[in-house]
Amino acid sequence: MKKKDLLTLLLLGYGWTATAQTAQKFRPMEDVNHVVDLTLDSLELANTARPVPGSSRQGDRPVLFLVGNSTMRTGTKGNGDNGQWGWGFFAHEYFDEAKISVENHALGGTSSRTFYRRLWPDVKKGIRKGDYVIIELGHNDNGPFDSGRARASIRGISPTDSLNVTIKETGERETVYSYGEYLRRFVRECKALGAHPILLSLTPRNAWDANRPGDVGRVNTTFGLWARQVAEEQDIPFIDLNEISAAKYDKFSTWKLNYHFYLDRIHTSAFGARLNARSAAEGIAACTHPGISGLQACLADMELPATNVKREEGKPVVFITGDSTVKNTDKDPDGMWGWGSQAATVFDTDKITVANEAMAGRSTRTYLEEGRWEKVYNSIRPGDFVLIQFGHNDIGDIDRGKARGVIACAQDTSHVYRVRKGDRSYNEVIYSFGWYLKKFIDDVREKGGTPILVSLTPRNEWPGGKIERRNDSYGKWYREVAAETAVEFVDLHNITADALDRIGQEGAKEYYNHDHTHTSLKGARLNAQGIAQGLRQIDSPLARYLK
């Protein structure tokens, strides 16, 4: 044998040199996400925000440790300052904090390889017997082995494949293993500490394709498959987070799918992060592996919030959403009344059930933020109707005070604000008035209901002897949204304004209650009659349920 060939064989034994054959075998995985992610050069800053391992422990209660990347915890500080959120931020909401605490140790930019080498040794210091460790890594196990972010693992789950590399920028030597082997090491070391490891497949990417329905960002032939195989081999629980979340995305419109991500096709908005957090909890609840039963006992109530509407067989429901002009105290004959309280004067309640879910003081944004819209959304059944009317409270401060304002337009736009509300300060993505309306419309249609936009009621102000109209702002935005979405639109603003113009400024006083916005009982009835008039004018299917 020639000296050159012998030397090559010796070097290959140590892994420091690769022939064309081994180079092909250890070809790095392509960075299909094409996202410039965080690197570990900000570890010092990141550790000022990441929890000290085990610091949340309450007495002898277990801790659930989350190990992952930016899909679990975005940004150096994980505070949503760029509009992106990881699902680990919301995971604690699905567990009973009197039984277990949840610590999110994920960090953006990490792969199974870099997390294991750089972060895992510290995380292990906080793990005790009886704890649980969720491991969801893989989005970053790609790119070069030995330069740049140098975070790629070898594809597959081989326990013997390895590649010795020298990092070009630092001269550091490292042995690189397969993705599956890194998972095995996490698992083995968890077990050695008496903890319960759980492997998760990756969160879905926004890779929706109209020509491939039922395939939203699935990675079940690579990382999802490999994680499952390792879990089966090691006899530990596996949660197919990728499939659970992707199945939900499959039911969404393209528009809705897109806003579950922010800025790119891998990192989620708060909407997407909450969806993934719930999917993880649902996967835990449904898992049949005996090693997860203790964690299942720590889950919080998983029931979806819904309205208290009482359904009757054969009768659809008309849900009414809005602010104080729709629902007020609605008790004192001389007090403030919303028109929703008078809906039964125009709808035939023998044929349809009226559910007034409006709330005083709410804007489109706060109605959504407070979970009120979620209750309506979860209650909608095919054949129902939803009347959507907002605007009076969408004016005003966005990031301070009542912090309920929205961006004043109908176009799809958003911005990250640092919101200061009371003694709280937090980052939040705020959208436009039109965007919130479009979300409500899209959600209703997804559930098989019929959305109907209703323009805001006119205010009791009379410039030039005619009642004020907002046709150049909110009225305009309503019409633009209606045109864009082809939704039914009742222009109550102008219907009621026309009626009050005929009555005159002096006579109109008895239709309001001591201010320019809130209506008296008489005014509420006038607006309810305007709803009926508008439904008939547009020949809405809901008009069939009018008296």
Give residue 192's pLDDT.
Answer: 98
> Tokens representing 318?
């008309």
Residue 156 CA, chain-centre distance (Å), reads 31
Give residue 518's pLDDT.
Answer: 97
> Tokens representing 530?
């305007």
Cβ atoms < 10 Å from Cβ of 72: 31
Give residue 26's pLDDT.
Answer: 76
Nearest-angstrom CA–CA distance, 105 and 222: 24
Write down all domains in the chain, each with its CATH number in brackets. Answer: 26-296 (3.40.50.1110), 317-545 (3.40.50.1110)
Radius of gyration over alpha carbons of the chain, in Å?
Answer: 29
How would you write the pLDDT of the chain (547 residues) with one tens digit per residue?
A: 444 443 333 333 333 333 344 445 677 766 655 555 544 545 556 666 789 999 999 999 999 999 999 999 987 678 888 999 999 999 999 999 999 999 999 998 899 999 999 999 999 999 999 999 999 999 999 989 999 889 999 999 999 999 999 999 889 999 999 999 999 999 999 999 999 999 999 999 998 655 554 455 677 789 999 999 999 999 999 999 999 999 999 999 999 999 999 999 999 999 999 999 999 999 999 999 999 999 999 999 999 999 999 999 999 999 999 999 999 999 999 999 999 999 999 999 999 999 999 999 999 999 999 999 999 999 999 999 999 999 999 999 999 999 999 999 999 999 999 999 889 999 999 999 999 999 999 999 999 999 999 999 999 999 999 999 999 999 999 999 999 999 999 999 999 999 999 999 999 999 999 899 999 999 999 999 999 999 999 999 999 999 9
Long-range pairs of 361-364 with CB within 8 A, sequence gap ≥ 24: 361/323, 361/324, 361/393, 361/402, 361/404, 362/322, 362/323, 362/390, 362/393, 362/404, 363/323, 363/390, 363/393, 363/394, 363/404, 363/405, 363/406, 364/390, 364/394, 364/406, 364/433, 364/436, 364/437, 364/440
Please state whether 383 falls in left (phi above 0), alpha (psi between -120 and 50) or beta: left
Please give the single-letter amino acid code of residue 42.
S
Nearest-angstrom CA–CA distance, 45 and 189: 27
Cβ atoms < 10 Å from Cβ of 375: 17
Nearest-angstrom CA–CA distance, 529 and 534: 9
Tell me if residue 531 falls in helix, strand or coil: helix
Nearest-angstrom CA–CA distance, 451 and 385: 6
Name the pTM for this structure. 0.91
Which residues lie across from 134 on neighbouring strands? 66, 198
Give residue 39's pLDDT.
Answer: 47
Cβ–Cβ < 8 Å for 65, 130: no
Tell me if residue 420 falls in helix, strand or coil: strand
Instruction: Please provide the DSSP assignment of 85-102 as one string.
Output: --GGGTGGGGB-TTT-EE
Tell me if residue 329 falls in helix, strand or coil: coil
Nearest-angstrom CA–CA distance, 292 and 237: 7
Length reported for the chain: 547
Long-range pairs of 87-91 with CB within 8 A, sequence gap ≥ 24: 87/203, 87/268, 87/272, 87/273, 87/274, 87/275, 87/276, 87/277, 87/280, 88/277, 89/273, 89/277, 90/273, 90/274, 90/277, 91/64, 91/66, 91/277, 91/280, 91/281
